[in-house]
Amino acid sequence: MESPNQSAAQEFIFSAFPYSWGSSVTCFIPLLFIYTFIVIGNLVIITVVQLNAPLHTPMYFFIGTLSFLEIWYTTATIPKMLASLLGEKTISLNGCLLQMYFFHSTGISEVCLLTAMAFDRYLAICSPLHYPTIMTPRLCATLTLGCCVCGFITPLPEIAWISTLPFCGSNRLEHIFCDFLPVLRLACTDTQAIVMIWVVDTVHAVEIITAVMLIFMSYVGIVAVILRIRSAEGRRKAFSTCVSHITVFLLFFGSVALMYLRFSATYSLFWDTAIALAFAVLSPFFNPIIYSLRNKEMKEAIKKHLGQAKIFFHKTEDLK
């Protein structure tokens, strides 16, 4: 129940951002660089995959889809962070709910897609003869669609439930973007909020543990097959196709687990912010680097198109 001297909060104030102009600018510049790099890097990967016929394989189809999701995953939070650093540090209740929905829907879609990519690597290494007939373009599209449907449906009940809660009293959100637990802490109804926090924790735990177990089982099978390969070169080549995926998986799931598998444990505002930046900003920043610099075919394709672009600009200058 709302007390007479409380009014329903229609907007939240992000209290984790620095308030001094110097500190805000110091944070704004690297964050802007990182976001620009994420968008351009992932657009380059999507373009290169689309323009190169040798890259029209299931693995690169999934990488291109992951890059597409990464752009929207970061766009759900980083532009608002940038605006909050230099301007108003507020967000409306509806804007907060929308930000939570798109951040978690694209994030869950990525989790599902990383699981599908592990399944793809398992089939490619453990059943190489049957791989082309199993992992068809139709199956790739079906898996991708399933990942997105799962991602965009899963957060809906949580968002719908939170939208019914009354928010009164303090509207200071101790975070750098809207997320379930910081928002729920501002709800007026203690009993409902506690139940909701438990439900949210349980849902996140089931999502993360299920994905981790499926990926782990895929790699158990992959490692078992790789160890049976007699030549060292054969083992190296087989394992090299999985390195990028394993790196992205560990980077993303490690920080996500710290944030969403803590249950009753609480962190200081500093550590909450650091962990949030790890999976919302740093992990997407490293992904284009991992998938381009750690991938020989991708590097060669990017070099080829950079060379073609250079020749085109030289010809344009000569015509002038």
Q: Which helix (H) or strand (E) holds 77?
A: none
Residue 291 · residue 45 · CB < 8 Å: yes
Residue 139 · residue 116 · CB < 8 Å: no
Provide the token pair at 236. 């190296």
Provide the token pair at 271. 């550590």
Residues of the chain with pLDDT under 50: 1-7
Taking the model in full, what pTM does it have? 0.88
DSSP of 167-196:
BBS--EE-SSS--HHHHHTTBS-HHHHHHH
Q: What would the pLDDT profile of 282-301 be if each residue is shown by its tens digit?
A: 999 998 888 876 677 887 87
Angle, CA of 148, 152 and 156, to the nearest 5°: 160
Residue 182 · residue 82 · CB < 8 Å: no
CA dist 112 and 62 (Å) reads 11
Strand partners, 172: 13
CA dist 318 and 320 (Å) reads 5
Helix, strand, or coil here: 10?
coil
pLDDT score recorded for residue 206:
87
pLDDT score recorded for residue 2:
44
Query: What angle do helix axes 78-86 and 58-75 make, rounded to 10 degrees?
Result: 30
pLDDT score recorded for residue 1:
41
Closest CA to 115 of 200, 223, 210, 45: 210
Place of tokens 């804007």: 95
Q: What would the pLDDT profile of 246-255 be if each residue is shown by its tens digit?
A: 889 988 888 8
pLDDT score recorded for residue 109:
95
pLDDT score recorded for residue 131:
93
Closest CA to 110 of 260, 37, 211, 258: 211
Strand partners, 129: none
pLDDT score recorded for residue 8:
59
pLDDT score recorded for residue 166:
84
